[in-house]
Chain A
Amino acid sequence: MKLLVNFSRGKGRKPIIAQVVRDTGVLINVERAVIDSSEGEALIDVPDDQCQLVRDSMTSMGATVHLLENGVNLNESECVDCGACISICPREVFSFDPDWKLSLDEKRCVLCGKCVDACPSHALTLPV
């Protein structure tokens, strides 16, 4: 499951992710992370059955954790099935089905948002 973790780096610059990995023993896959001097946001992928454990552990360390159930959202009534998003996506979320209809493998999405800008039809949005 994908978790969006936000943390402030004010208090002693704790290595939250490393700490959680050590405490829980869960191997965390960091899909995307933006960390600067004061705060950080990381999109992590953890096994479904250990999700709660990781969440609790991170929350106890002062991080805010959101479960990301959805990947990028496709508005089918706006989409014209051009495929501009296909080559832009670093995770191969998009492909054509045999009828050249755009299909989405939402699970692969790491919400980087690159496709949102590349879509000429404004058919893609990130979940808020």
Chain B
Amino acid sequence: MHKSISQINERIRDGSARVVTAEEMPAIVAELGEQGALKEVDVVTTGTFGAMCSSGAFFNFGHAEPPIRMERIWLNNVEAYGGLAAVDTYIGATQQSDTREDEYGGAHVLEDLVAGKSVELRASSRGTDCYPRRTITTELLLENLNQATMCNPRNAYQRYNAATNTTDRTLHTYMGTLLPGCGNVNFSGAGLLNPLSNDPHCRLIGSGVPIFLCGAQGMVVGEGTQHSPAGGFGTLMVTGDLKQMSPDYMRAATMTGYGVTLYVGLGIPLPVLDIDVVRATAVRDEDISVDILDYAVPSRNRPVLRKVSYAELRSGSIDLNGEEVKTSSLSSFRRARKVAAELKGWVEQGKMQLALPTRPIDAKKVSRPMHQSTLGPRVLDIMDRQVVSIHEDEEIKTAAKKLLKGETNHLPVINAAGILVGIVTTFDISKAVANPGKAHLVKDIMKTKVITAKPDEAVDIAVQKLEKHNISALPVVDAENHVLGILTAMNLGKLFGGRWLK
């Protein structure tokens, strides 16, 4: 059996279409069988509501008198793109305010406009013969704009890897607050309600397909940026009219320590054309799995701790190395349901008809990492190789002499096997001298918890360690913890004026 899109649209028009949400579909297929479900159901609505950083909107302000060709543009002190003709701009959701930093950003500008609040436009220009005006400041409401078109380059991730943290300190990431020692696991995504998870081969979702976008009727533009459906990480570029949107389905947010983002509500109605659609839309949370990544590793390739399904993640806790760890969602399943339900209402009431893609989306694409023609500076490029170290059984006095002679403030401490076992600083020695006690040897006063760097580590990672731990030197060690050098704040000076900043 096969249903055509025009048959389905006819049923939508005469109000007889059977519309269900993707959450209801698995039970229907289990009850009626695949053929029965195909006969019964005409449309499956999907929905997701989560943080989608790659979002923003195009605005056209109309011309001022005298006219201005805006070159730098701010909306409520959030900079918008000034390279689009005279009075067009694009504001990105994650752009932060010049004055309020992560308290307010592009996402908040969009939310304020949709909520009916006025926003201050400020722009400057060098002035031309045709556009003489050099500055402008004006208060604008959404209705004052000629166009306010949301256009989000990367939304509706098919699924997203979960996050945890094996370090001993709290990490603040775009995946939320990650507690030390794998204290929690954060995840994002609507699982069985997600649009692309219900159409993983992109048979129904493609350019021109009507969607629910933040409460407005929008459209799929095409594949999203970083679209990588071959590995299960498809994305969509979508658009919709900001003037039709509702603050119920779009919310500005701030991930502490990361920055501003926009929560987007997005849903796609899927026509149940054939048995393959029935099978795809019967997907359950149990069937969709993601990796739990360790955000302790500040790299593009983070270690995978285990695989987990959305059903497990949504249960509230999972097993991680024999321990029960609580899970938190960053997206809202309740609002994803509301999106799918609202969209169901639209189709049932004939407010939205369905369409097949005018241009398909490649379902086999794989996204590649950045091509880097030059590598950034690594620790070995700037570290001090002339490192003075001391044996743990030496006297404190010897350490003091070495510090003076070596004109350094940090002495890595090694054991008989030449392995790094601690560090002493001028501060430690001064303290030992000022408060003479039982301590005589270096090992009595050294700090044994040494923060180190690896020679091939990026300098930026080492700098982050210095900042996070509020220290000024990192011993550089090999895999066996032999000291190869030391990186101090002074070495960082080599970065300036050197070949790395060209």
Contact = CB atoms under 8 A, between A and B. Distances in A.
Contacts of B330: 82-84, 120
A118 B334 CA distance: 19
A119 to B, nearest CB: 8
B328 A81 contact: no
B368 to A, nearest CB: 30
A5 interface: no
Interface in B321-377: 325-335, 337
Contact of A87 (B256, B263, B327): B327
B184 interface: yes
Given A80-B263, A80-B332, A120 B326 contact: no
Interface in B294-339: 316, 325-335, 337
- Could you say which interface size class chain A belongs to? 20 to 34
Interface string B247-287: 00001011110000101000000000000000000000000
The prevalent SS among residues of B at the interface is strand
Choose among A99, A120, A121 the residue with the greatest number of B CB atoms under 10 Å from its CB: A120
Residue picked from B177, B179, B184, most chain A C-beta under 10 Å: B177
B211 interface: no
Interface string A69-108: 0000000000011111111100000011001110000000
Nearest to A99: B334
Contact of B254 (A83, A86, A87, A122): A122
Contacts of B414: none
B263 A118 contact: no
A88 B334 contact: no
A81 B334 contact: yes
B156 interface: no
Contacts of B152: none
Given A80-B49, A80-B263, A120-B253, A101 B328 contact: no
A86 to B, nearest CB: 5
A82 B253 CA distance: 11
Contact of B184 (A87, A95, A99, A100): A87
Contacts of B179: 87-88
B422 interface: no
Given A95-B316, A120-B176, 17 more contacts: A80-B251, A80-B253, A80-B335, A81-B334, A82-B328, A82-B332, A84-B330, A86-B316, A86-B326, A86-B327, A87-B327, A96-B316, A117-B256, A118-B176, A120-B51, A121-B253, A121-B263
User: Which 6 pairs across A and B sit closest by C-beta, in order of nearness?
Assistant: A87-B184, A87-B328, A120-B253, A87-B326, A100-B334, A118-B177
10 contacts: A80-B263, A82-B328, A87-B184, A87-B186, A88-B184, A99-B334, A101-B334, A114-B177, A118-B177, A120-B176
Interface of A: 80-88, 95-96, 99-101, 114, 117-118, 120-122
Interface of B: 49-51, 176-177, 179, 183-186, 251, 253-256, 261, 263, 316, 325-335, 337
